[in-house]
Amino acid sequence: MTSIRRCCSIALTAWILALTAHGAALAQDYVIGPRDVLSVTVWGQADLTKDYLVDQDGSMAFPLIGRVKASGLTTGRLAARLAELLEKDYLVNPQVSVTVKEYLSQKVQVLGEAEKPGLYYLSGPTTLLEIVSKAGGLSKTAGRQLVLVRHQSGRAGGGADGNTILRVSFDKIQTGDAAENLAVEDRDIVFIPRAHAFFVLGEVKTAGTFPLDKATTVLEAVTLAGGFNDRAAPSGVKLIRRAANGQQETISLNLLSPTAPDRSTPVQEGDTVYVPKGNTFFVFGEVKKPGAYQLDRDTNILEGITIAGGFTDKAAPGRARVIRNTPSGQTVLDVDMNDIIKRGQRDKAIKLMENDVVVVPESFF
Please compute the mean of the pLDDT values over residues 142-155 and round it to a whole number. Answer: 78
How many other C-beta atoms can be found within 10 angstroms of the C-beta atom of residue 335? 23
Q: 276 pLDDT exceeds 90?
A: no
Please compute the mean of the pLDDT values over residues 87-91 and round it to a whole number. Answer: 92
Q: 14 pLDDT exceeds 90?
A: no
The reported pLDDT for the residue numbered 364 is: 77
Arithmetic mean of pLDDT over the chain: 85
- Sorted by where each begins, the domain ranges of the chain are 37-102, 281-365
Quote the CATH superfamily of domain 37-102.
wza like domain (3.30.1950.10)
The reported pLDDT for the residue numbered 291 is: 85
The reported pLDDT for the residue numbered 330 is: 84
Please compute the mean of the pLDDT values over residues 194-210 and round it to a whole number. Answer: 89
The reported pLDDT for the residue numbered 219 is: 96
Please compute the mean of the pLDDT values over residues 58-77 and round it to a whole number. Answer: 94
Q: Could you tell me the pTM of the whole model?
A: 0.46
The CATH code for residues 281-365 is 3.10.560.10
Please compute the mean of the pLDDT values over residues 185-194 and round it to a whole number. Answer: 90
Q: What is the pLDDT of residues 215-245, one digit of tens each?
A: 899 999 999 999 998 778 888 899 998 877 7
Q: CB-based contacts of 359: which residues, under 8 Å, 6+ apart?
A: 284, 285, 320, 321, 322, 323
Share of the chain above pLDDT 70, in %: 89
Q: 194 pLDDT exceeds 50?
A: yes
The reported pLDDT for the residue numbered 94 is: 95
Please compute the mean of the pLDDT values over residues 281-305 and round it to a whole number. Answer: 89
The reported pLDDT for the residue numbered 161 is: 57
Q: 322 pLDDT exceeds 60?
A: yes
More confident residue, 272 or 151: 272
The reported pLDDT for the residue numbered 352 is: 94
Alpha helix locations (H) across the chain? 2-29, 75-89, 128-134, 170-174, 218-224, 301-307, 337-341
In degrees, rounded to 5, the angle at the alpha carbon of residue 226 between the alpha carbons of residues 164 and 276 is: 30
The reported pLDDT for the residue numbered 151 is: 79
The reported pLDDT for the residue numbered 153 is: 60
More confident residue, 122 or 311: 311
Q: 23 pLDDT exceeds 60?
A: no
Question: Residue 296's pLDDT band (boundaries 50, 70, 90)?
Answer: confident
The reported pLDDT for the residue numbered 31 is: 86
Number of helices (H), then strands (E), belonging to the chain: the values are 7, 20
The reported pLDDT for the residue numbered 272 is: 93
Render 138-185 in DSSP notation, one character per residue: B-TTB-SEEEEEEEE---TTT---EEEEEEEEHHHHHTT-TTTSPBP-
DSSP state of 361: P
The reported pLDDT for the residue numbered 17 is: 39
Question: Residue 28's pLDDT band (boundaries 50, 70, 90)?
Answer: low
